[in-house]
Amino acid sequence: MVIVIQCADRTGLVSAITAVLAANKLNIVSLREYVDQTENRFYMRLEVTEQFDAVLLETEFQQVLPAGALISINPSPNKKIVLLVTKEYHCLTDILVKNYFNSLGATVAAVIGNYPTLQDICRRFDIPFFLVSHENKEHATFESEITEVIQQYEPDYIVLAKFMRILSPDFVAGLPMRIINIHHSFLPAFIGANPYRKAFERGVKLIGATAHFVTNDLDEGPIITQQTIPVNHSQVTADMVKAGKEIETSVLAKALRLVFDDRVFVYRNKTVVFDW
């Protein structure tokens, strides 16, 4: 059983939480906790061996934790996700392979693409693909059609696996901290389109990728994880794009593992991540 807790910090929280578990004869096999002293915020993730009445346990925790505590007990071990894609295949295929071999930590319910480019690969993996074109449509109509498909599946998360369209504030507001994006730069550098060309023109010596939750501020949502790789003067934009695809795949895969395993806490525009 997994327990995740986020609340205002105060003295004795760890003792109070573990006392509740001990009183119910629940044995702790893993415990990670962190206090953000600047925000006076407490975070904890526990794993216990036995199963227990989640409603009763949450009630007991609420009695010993500060008001407004966020508590999740035994969240779904296998999340359901819907992917949004455009034309690039590298992130999508990595997710589909992991899904096929049951190593994703989630189930891919469907893929929505605004071009038919990736329909065949989804068919090969027996994953429903919905073509929702953005062409010759109002943006609101385009997003409404996407929303209709998403609502059929009631996913835990939406993953933008190289979905190259900007989502409106209304769309994002309907799925708060449930949309995960992979951006092809080491944010906050090179926000927006064509980051590899911008990196080449700037002459940087590192390029990277960032997985983050989507908010109304373009490419500025809470960061889940990032990685970089070195580049040099001999590499042109095309070389950076090729190298970047590999790191994008790796970064998104790691971010999804962390989120699906309930290791990511969001507070305001920052995250606390209990890595492996």
- What is residue 234's three-state secondary structure? coil
How many Cβ atoms sit within 10 Å of the Cβ of residue 64? 14
In this structure, the number of other CB atoms found within 10 A of the CB of residue 259 comes to 26
Question: Of 94, 219, 239, 261, which residue is the catalytic one?
Answer: 219
CA distance 258 to 276: 8
Of 252, 257, 260, which Cα lies nearest the Cα of 90?
A: 252
Catalytic: 120?
no
List own/partner pairs for 203-208 with CB under 8 A and 24 or more apart: 203/233, 204/231, 205/230, 205/231, 205/232, 206/230, 206/231, 207/231, 207/240, 207/243, 207/244, 207/247, 208/247, 208/251
Which H helix or E strand runs over 33?
strand 28-36
Largest CA distance in the chain: 64
Distance, in Å, from the CA atom of 180 to the CA atom of 160, rounded to the nearest integer, reads 6
Q: Residue 260: which H helix or E strand, with range?
A: helix 237-260
- Catalytic positions: 219
